[in-house]
Amino acid sequence: MIDSLIEERKKKLKNIKAKGVDPYPAESKRTHTIGEALTSFNKLLKTKKKIRLTGRLRAWRDQGGVVFADLKDASGSIQLVFKKEGFKDFDFWKENLDLGDFIEAGGALFKTKKGQESLEVKSFKLLSKSLRAIPKDFYGITEIETRLRQRYLDIALNSEVRDIFIKKAKFWDSLRTELKTQGFLEVETPVLESVPGGADAEPFATHHNALNEDFYLRISLEIALKKIMVAGYEKVFEIGRIFRNEGIDAEHLQDYTQLEFYWAYADYNDLMKLIEAMFKKTIKATCGTLTTSYRGQKINWNKKWPKVDYYKIFKEKIGLDLETTTKDDLFKKAVAEGLKPDRNLSRGRLIDMLFKKVRHTMIQPCFLINPPVDIEPLAKRINDEPGKVARFQIVAGGTELGKGFSEANDPIDQRARFEEQMKLREQGDVEAQRLDEDFLEALEYGTPPMAGFGMSERVFSVLMDKPVRETVFFPLMRKKKS
């Protein structure tokens, strides 16, 4: 059926070419978007000014000597009226145009007897002949896998999906603008790294032919940005893609956009003040409100965000005191909770596994502060409590939405922590961090005290109340079976 429809459209394409018309011209002489024409409708109607509109044909109502059509561009939709009298080659184009074709229509605006704002077409140009039929409405592609594979159709037919990506642009623009207003310098760092670092994640590996070396796609922006801070910059940020070779679920993708920034002579307390204000501005700019919904729960971002102590809430909800709890205690508790932990998991991994049960209950935004050093090898220890680190996580909607910390800048302590991580790798933990000699060498030249923060586009997906893969244009998917 589809093949026969395509063949029919190809015949029309041949007819158009035979008439000496280029069905794919390089330019158009549009004078107004449809949105602009509708906004200025009364003025253009009064002056009877000739205008040219462009877009895709989305409806076609043949009344014999008159054809009514709907033309749609990114700004809106308008009715076109083709009349046989006064329109050159009326019958030819009526036979050879299809829904989905891009056209340029010239003429004057008018209102029909029913008051419909319309354009009477006096000049016409085909801009692109469509060989496949666009589904008549969104219900033609309701199945989620098809929608994501053919995202261009999903967006073309569903205004809600189209609006998501307009909001996403506002989301990143707001964050970028606020950081620049605060004096941060936007930078770019390499995607390929000799040693992947800055996060607990398994990397993707690749081979560089010119250098004949194996490299990794970065799992974080952190290490390169910290090296830039060694160079003397005091406020830097990057918004870039990172890649993690891990599982897919509603909150995780394998390649996604991340924001990270670093701020010299500041600590995580300074950072929390900046982050709360920045989030509120961004959410307001993106959503138009500071109350959103996620998975059936209302989230009020406008209240003062409380600080929740990691050790206290872990003891309250899990029943274990992290000051004295051993790895064996944590393992037994994880088994009792039905989590099926591996015997090789580190103390930090077991703590994090158990805490996920707590995090799902934390709906309103808060700062979760001062976790054990076991789960954060790159944060600064708290002076009077060296088993803890000066880190916070933003938690809302039952999920983590970013983390920041006072950065570790003691190269000797950092080396010791990396060595602990390498021991975990040797025991089978593929996500444990690797010892990075280049980074340690940079730290040895001296790094100012600083605070750092990172967040991913998961924040946006929570604001939209959508699985994260539905808030990216083209999520990676398995190859379609033939």
> What SS3 state is found at 11?
helix
CA distances, 111 to each of 43, 119, 182, 374 (Å): 13, 8, 51, 71
Residue 440, H or E segment: helix 437-444
Give pLDDT tens digits for 242-281.
999 988 887 888 999 999 999 999 999 999 999 999 999 9
Q: What share of the chain is helix, strand, coil (3-state, %, to 5)?
A: 35, 25, 35
Q: pLDDT tens across 145-170, in order? A: 778 888 888 888 888 999 999 999 99
Q: At 378, which amino acid appears?
A: L
Separation CA 291–CA 343 (nearest Å): 43
Tokens for 348, please give them.
Answer: 């930090």
Helix (H, G, I), strand (E, B) or coil at 14: helix
Give the count of alpha carbons within 13 A of 32, CB side only: 22
The whole-number mean pLDDT for each consecutive block of 10 residues of the chain, a chain of 482 residues, reads 86 96 96 97 93 96 94 96 89 94 96 94 95 68 76 87 95 98 97 86 93 95 93 97 87 93 97 98 98 96 97 96 94 93 88 93 97 86 91 96 92 84 77 81 91 96 95 86 66
Beta bridge partners of 396: 399
DSSP lists the bridge partners of residue 186 as: 237
Biggest CA–CA distance in the chain, Å, is 90
Other CB atoms within 10 Å distance of the CB of residue 188: 10
Tell which residue, 415, 324, 400, 338, has the closest CA to residue 368: 400
What is the pLDDT, as a whole number, of residue 251?
85
80 burial via Cβ count (<10 Å: 0-12, 13-18, 19+): buried
Domains delineated in the chain: 2-134 (2.40.50.140), 153-471 (3.30.930.10)
pTM of the model: 0.88
Rounded Cα distance, 372 and 386, in Å: 9
Which two three-digit tokens encode residue 214?
């194996």
